[in-house]
Chains A and B, each alone.
Chain A
Amino acid sequence: MAVLAVIAAGIYMKQSYYDPAFLIPSVGETQRPGELPLEPSASWDLAQFVSPDMEVLSPAESFGPKTLFEKINGKAELYLSAGFLNLRSQRLARKAAPESWMEVFVYDMETLERAFAVYSAQRRDEAELSNLTAFSYKTENALFWVHGRYYVEIVASVASKAMTEAMFYFGNGFVRNMAVERQRIAELSLFPRQYLKEQSMALYISSAFGYDQFKNVFTADYEVDGKELTAFLSRQDSPEEADSLAEAYHTFLLQNGGTDVSVNSSLGDAALVNILDSFELIFHHGQYVTGVHEAENQEAAEKLGLMLEEALVEAVK
């Protein structure tokens, strides 16, 4: 028995050690990318949303946090840092013109907020809004949207009316059939509408404005009296935590070269910091840390700050 135990231990030790350098992924015709087996659930069969004039070009693929880089390489970190769970992708082609193909990417980000975070981080300027969902836009060759916990991209190999129609056919089917818990993010409704730049709202899951304690920070861009600036807010577990975080961010700014500036008395105990030729306004209201980032001048920062406070007062009533 002792000999058998030694043999078993030897085999275990020998086979359990590996060097990542020489885990060469198999390649070639037999390769099946992705690590996760595809679930048989009908709701996950992407092919069910394909328009009649399209057909499947390649098998569905599935990637988890450990293999996402095999699909999108350098962009994987963007998703992983936002809480990525799974990616399913599949290529589809037009029956009449197989050179016209598109690839669908369905990212499961677990929550609506996380899906919105990766959506807003990649939103293309000057893209055309789409009415597919509350967060959706299209470009010449692609369609992007958030549906509950899913962030979805469809990228076409050609820009054409036929492909756009096929993308929307898929998108409408997906939104209609994929049940999700929520479609609205409460924080976004707190931003004042006046002076707001359309489609500028975003969510930073971590390290907003370079401050590593700033997590889950929503932002929105404004143009106030011709001056560019950004409003932000982040909900904490309690007013005390919000107060503490606001003070910590204030300290962070001062430690990085900022200087305190007297602030309009209407803003109560808000802090105003002049840093790198711009102004940062920070205060808290109830559970929210809020303020203004990179305001071009003090007047615009205070004006937007007052609007933010009014909106929060109304919301927290």
Chain B
Amino acid sequence: MKQLAKDQSVTRRDFLVRSAKAGASAVAACGASAWLYTGSSPLSSAKSRALVTLPDFSVAGADGKIGIVRGKDRKKTLQRALKALGGIETFIRRGDRVLVKVNAAFASPPILSATTNPELVAEVARLCLKAGASSVTVTDNPINDPISCFSLSGIAQAAQSVGAEIVLPTEHDFEPTSVSGGTLIRQWPLLYAPFEGVDKLIGIAPVKDHHRSGASMIMKNWYGLLGGRRNIFHQDIHNVIKELAMMVSPTLVILDGTVTMMTNGPTGGSLKDLKQTNTMIVSTDQVAADAFGATLLGKTASELPYIGKAQAEGVGTADYESLRV
């Protein structure tokens, strides 16, 4: 025992060496902690930022109108529908900065009508600039990678050809938002940067069948303003569409029913999924626009629960006939 105790005795030199090693270990651990520590986790960084909300982009006195025009030529039907609502000048004033929210969800060719028609985007941008808008910006947060979506859909080239700017989302463009009265969109990332400094908002969407919600039109199109793992909302699709409609008060919405995707939406894939329905809907009431759009899909508004839910929240009316001008 004495021999063992002697072996385990610590000299001053051993003590100093061991102390130095322990100190080095502690410093290394602290260094590793500092290196691993994010400083701000995704959750805390987002929640520490103030919640943002979108302003009301509607034009006073222009609410509750819908123009429905039949025809194959999108430019002509758009112009006639706008004229019925008082002309683009009713909505766009000199110096306005206009944001156009398109449906560029997929990297699909224009012939599939899975995305907003590029010619229609160009015409809307051209009319806004002609009315005196100081800038027109086109944006969306697509499902597929943004560069492919905007280029292969033809939207980027069409918008840029008339002087509009394309804004592709980056992860820094999102800010947390909560929908007042909502239960799903709570502290959720919103594509907010493109809205900064904007005076007017126009939503443009095609009429499409949708596997989960039954239809994808104007209100569903605001889904492209959300970030994060938004697919979890598909489990409660009608309520999230309702909340999207509550979140956004646009200046104008344009629902393109020139060609309707009747089946296999929202991606489609075959020309057999499409039907020439030759209708352009321009409205200041997004609920009314979707209610009419449902008829192009051979449905009634009551078959799409989100329409009734949005109406019940006071977003608009499904009685589009009462708004026709």
The answer to whether residues A23 and B229 also contact, given A124-B273, A158-B109 and a CB cut-off of 8 A, is yes
Q: Evaluate whether A141 and B111 lie within 8 angstroms (CB atoms) in the complex, with A24-B174, A74-B213, A77-B212 already known.
A: yes
Q: Which residues of A contact B188 (CB under 8 A)?
A: 21
The residue from A23, A58, A157 contacting B148, defined by CB atoms under 8 A apart: A58
- The A interface, classified by DSSP as helix, strand, loop or mixed, is mixed
**B249 proximal to A (CB < 8 A):** no
- State whether the Cβ of A266 lies closer than 8 Å to any Cβ in chain B: no
Encode B136-175 as 1/0 by CB contact (under 8 A) with A. Answer: 0000010111111000100000000000000011110010
Given contacts A15-B38, A22-B43, A74 and B144 within 8 Å (CB-CB):
no
Q: Does A139 contact B (CB under 8 A)?
A: yes
A35 lies within 8 A of chain B by Cβ:
no
Tier of interface size on chain B: 35 or more
Q: Which residues between 59 and 110 of chain B lie within 8 Å of chain A, taking CB atoms?
A: 105-109
Interchain CB contact (< 8 A) of A75 among B148, B170, B264: B264
- In the complex with contacts A18-B42, A74-B234, A139-B270, A23-B228 CB distance below 8 A: yes
Q: Which among A25-33, A180-188, A270-278, A296-304 touches the partner chain?
A: A25-33
- A69 and B228 within 8 A (CB): no
Q: Is B37 an interface residue (CB 8 A)?
A: yes
Once bound together, how far apart are the Cα atoms of A21 and B49, in whole Å?
14
For A, the interface residue count at a CB cutoff of 8 angstroms equals: 52
Tell whether A14 is near chain B: CB-to-CB under 8 Å.
yes
Are A27 and B269 in contact (CB-based, < 8 A)? no
Contact B227 A24 (CB under 8 A): yes
Contact A22 B234 (CB under 8 A): no
* Per-residue interface assignment for chain A, residues 70 to 98, with 1 indicating a CB less than 8 Å from any chain B CB and 0 otherwise: 11111111100000000000010000000
A159 and B271 within 8 A (CB): yes
B210 contacts the other chain (CB 8 A): yes
- B267 contact set on A, CB distance < 8 A: 72-75
Q: Does A54 contact B (CB under 8 A)?
A: no
Enumerate 16 A-B pairs (CB-CB under 8 Å) in ascending A order.
Answer: A10-B33, A18-B41, A21-B187, A24-B227, A24-B228, A27-B171, A28-B168, A69-B143, A72-B106, A74-B211, A76-B234, A78-B211, A124-B264, A124-B273, A142-B270, A144-B270
Interface residue ranges, B against A (CB under 8 Å): 25-26, 29-30, 33, 36-38, 41-43, 45-46, 105-109, 111-112, 141, 143-148, 152, 168-171, 174, 176, 187-189, 210-213, 216, 227-229, 231-232, 234, 263-267, 269-273
Q: A24-B228, A33-B144 are in contact. List 19 more A-B contacts (CB 8 A).
A: A15-B41, A22-B43, A22-B45, A27-B141, A28-B146, A70-B143, A74-B212, A74-B265, A75-B266, A75-B267, A77-B234, A125-B272, A126-B272, A139-B272, A141-B270, A142-B271, A155-B108, A155-B112, A159-B271
Chain A interfacial positions (CB closer than 8 Å to B) = 3-4, 7, 10-11, 14-15, 17-29, 31, 33, 58, 69-78, 91, 101, 103, 122, 124-127, 139-142, 144, 153, 155-159
Q: 8 closest A-B pairs (Cβ-Cβ)? A: A157-B109, A124-B272, A22-B42, A69-B231, A139-B270, A20-B229, A19-B43, A21-B228
